Amino acid sequence: MRSVGVEEELLLVNPRTGEPAASAGAVLASALLSGGRAAGADGEIPLEKELQQEQVEFATRPVTRMDELAEEIRRWRAEAARHAQTAGVQVAALATCPLTVEPTLSVGERYQWIVRQFGLPAQEQLTCGCHVHVSVESDEEGVAVLDRIRPWLSVLTALSANSPFWQGEDTGYGSYRSRVWNRWPSAGPVNLFGSAAAYHERVRAMVETGVLRDKGMIYFDARLAARYPTVEIRVADVCLDAATTVLVAALVRGLVDTAARSWRAGEAPSPVDTGLLRLAAWRAARSGIDGPLIHPATLREDSPEAVVWALYDHVREALDENGDSDRVKAGLEELLRRGNGARVQRDLLRSTGDLAAVVSRCAQLTAGE
């Protein structure tokens, strides 16, 4: 089986007020003093800083079994919560902050360059995503996968949607994070590449324009990872429930397996226009799983249930081979019934009437309480 790893970005918040806390330095210092290890973990996987001081990131080790991935995510969320508590704050798996915030840029020349180059969008950028890495045998296989998973990525955004609020207001979106993120000039869906050589040439040409600092600023919805032999799928919000993260990861691996098999069979990727993919991405961000989505096969609006089960059917053979079918089927049924993070946040607001209480409850859920 292909190995899978996950990167999650977490929001740092004040435990009394729910407001974002610029405490990444203190949280990372606590992790550094303890060696950055979680109890029982093999090897060292440190917490890392991100663009703003109100967030931290962790990365799991690559694993092949979804129960192992679930344990990794729970472990590192708990570890992040422990170090946050040492620093007097909490972590919350929220893709945007429900309360008003003026983010604090992290220290470093790279971050300063980003703000000089991109201005207000960079200063306002406080979003938390979930990136899923799946191993590939070569860049050629990786690019073949990227070309073939394009129509299905918007469904992952809908499933993971966990950012309905922005600056104290309900945005009307399930995943407002994805709308904020797509202000970066290199973000979003992309055209077919056709080959690894064409992929690398496009990346080179984009960097050489001078708009981007380096290859690390290639923010495609899915890309070849710079440091690992993986494809990196970047469309998901950080999920409030760790089980949703595992569900998304299992579906991503299923997409990679299915695409690689199609490539080896000589089947051409769908030539769907990038403009249509952008509309599908917008629709997924707007609806989450509470409204219509663009069906990847018909490119017409359909019910969220129809689209979600179409994704399941598309990757079913790969899920069977990986032993993930029952887990994914049950996870999708539960998610459609209970709702994703966006629905949970809105339900919490209706029951409490207070965005600070929403943040507090979400921090408890993140820590496993």
At 179, phi and psi to the nearest 5? -70, -40
Q: How confident is the model at residue 44 (pLDDT cuts 50, 70, 90)?
A: low
Does the domain formed by 4-366 have CATH 3.30.450.20? no
Average pLDDT over residues 86-105: 96
* Nearest C-alpha neighbor of 58 from the set 33, 83, 40, 87: 83
pTM above 0.85, yes or no: yes
| DSSP conformation letters of 17-78 | T--B---HHHHHHHHHHTTTPPTT-SS----EE-SBTTEEEEEPPPBSSHHHHHHHHHHHHH
Which pLDDT does position 47 carry in this prediction?
86
* Nearest C-alpha neighbor of 248 from the set 106, 366, 153: 153
Which pLDDT does position 39 carry in this prediction?
39
Cα–Cα distance, 196 to 139 (Å, whole number): 6
Q: Please return the burial class of 125, using the count of CB atoms within 10 Å of its CB with bins 0-12, 13-18 and 19+.
A: buried
What's the pLDDT tens digit per position in 294-336?
Answer: 999 999 999 999 999 999 999 999 999 999 999 999 999 999 9
Average pLDDT over residues 81-94: 96
- For residue 112, pLDDT over 60 is answered with yes
* Nearest C-alpha neighbor of 345 from the set 328, 365, 326: 365
Average pLDDT, the chain: 95
User: Cβ(89)–Cβ(14) under 8 Å?
Assistant: yes
CA pseudo-torsion sign 239, 244, 249, 252: negative
Looking at 27-41, 185-199, 213-227, which range is the least confident one? 27-41
Residue 196: which residues within 8 A CB-CB, separation 6 or more? 138, 139, 140, 142, 143
| Bridge partners, 170 (sequence order) | 165
Q: For residues 52-64, b (16+ Cβ closer than 10 Å) or e, as one string?
A: bbbbbbbbbebbe
Task: Give the number of other CB atoms < 10 A from CB of residue 127.
Answer: 27
What's the pLDDT tens digit per position in 18-41?
Answer: 999 999 999 999 888 876 554 334
Percent of the chain with pLDDT over 70: 97
Where in the chain are the domains? Answer: 4-366
Average pLDDT over residues 111-134: 96
